[in-house]
Structures are given as C-alpha cells and as structure tokens.
C-alpha cells in the first residue's frame, strides 16, 4: 500500500522530498508540506476547495483529518515544529509554530492556536476562538487551564525532533 497523492482542479500537492508520507495517507489538491514533516498512517489532507500549508518538522499523526472551508473561504495553515496527535480534526484554522495538539482534539473554522500553546486531548476549539501562547487549554469547549510548566515546554521541545527522527527511520526502511 502506498500513499494516495491526488491532483484536484489541476493542482497537485507539493511535498518536500525530505517528508515522510505513510502508506494509506491521502493528500488531495492544494497542499504544501515543508521539509522534515511527516503525515502518518490513515491521515486525510483535503486541499480541495482551499489550501493547506504545513511548515517544516511538523507531524500529523495517525488518523488525523485536515480540511478547508469554502463558504466563507478558510485555509488550514500549520507552522513549523507542530505536533498534531492521533485522530485530530483540523478544519479551516491556523496553528502557529511549536503548538501541541492532543489526540482527538477538534479545531474549527477561523480558530487560531498561538505559538507554543498546548491543547489537551479531546478538546474542542470553537469557531473563531484564539488559544493563547504559553497556556494549557482543555475541554469541550476548550478553556484555559493553567500556564505551561517547564515539563510541558520540555515535552513540546522534544516532540518535533523525535518525529523527524522516526520519520527518517521509516523512510530508510521503506
């Protein structure tokens, strides 16, 4: 099984050669993925009616869905060194550099997760909401819980390099 890279409306995804795209991932249309990033098993990235931009050394973990909006137009913009946990739902929003998105979190249209913010597993970010830097947010709907600790920041700092190394190992054995 290989990844499905699909052109849509004449636009083919632009994936840096230093990326790892797992077998079974599907990437459609206007999607750009930066060097060192990884898209894991079972992910769907649908840049069909708008664009998806993913920076460098970012990982999109197993089963995650990224989609865009068209009414009103909403792109997905994800910065560098972002960790997006398993089965997250990312729709028409912005996630800035170094943010950590927990497993099964949902981020809706027009929301912004600021640089370095941590969103707990299972959280729901309502449309247009801003998740502030330096904070742990959790809940449905998400709300601020506390400032990040040194332990939180250490976990975030180790996450992106870990996935870059793991992706390189997969590419070397694939």
| The token pair that represents 41 in the structure block | 């098993």
**In the prediction, which pLDDT does 71 show?**
85
**In the prediction, which pLDDT does 61 show?**
98
**In the prediction, which pLDDT does 1 show?**
60
* Neighbouring C-beta atoms of residue 165, cutoff 10 Å: 11
**In the prediction, which pLDDT does 109 show?**
98
Residues of the chain scoring pLDDT < 50:
none
Phi, psi of 106 (to 5 degrees): -130, 125
Spell out the domains of the chain, with CATH numbers in brackets: 4-173 (2.160.10.10)
């Amino acid at each position: 099984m290989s990844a499905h890279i699909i052109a849509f409306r004449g636009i083919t995804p632009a994936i840096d050669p230093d990326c790892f795209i797992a077998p079974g991932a599907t990437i459609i249309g206007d999607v750009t993925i930066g060097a060192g990033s990884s898209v894991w098993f079972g992910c769907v990235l649908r840049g069909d009616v708008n664009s998806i931009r993913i920076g460098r050394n970012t990982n999109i973990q197993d089963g995650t869905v990224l989609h865009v909006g068209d009414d009103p137009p909403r792109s997905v913009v994800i910065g560098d060194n972002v960790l997006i946990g398993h089965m997250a739902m990312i729709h028409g929003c912005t996630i800035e550099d170094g943010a950590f998105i927990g497993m099964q979190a949902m981020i809706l249209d027009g929301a912004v997760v600021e640089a370095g913010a941590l969103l707990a597993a299972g959280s729901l970010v309502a449309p247009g909401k801003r998740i502030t830097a330096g904070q742990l947010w959790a809940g449905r709907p998400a709300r601020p819980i506390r400032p990040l600790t040194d332990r939180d920041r250490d976990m975030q700092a180790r996450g992106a390099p870990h996935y870059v190394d793991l992706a390189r190992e997969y590419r070397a054995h694939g």
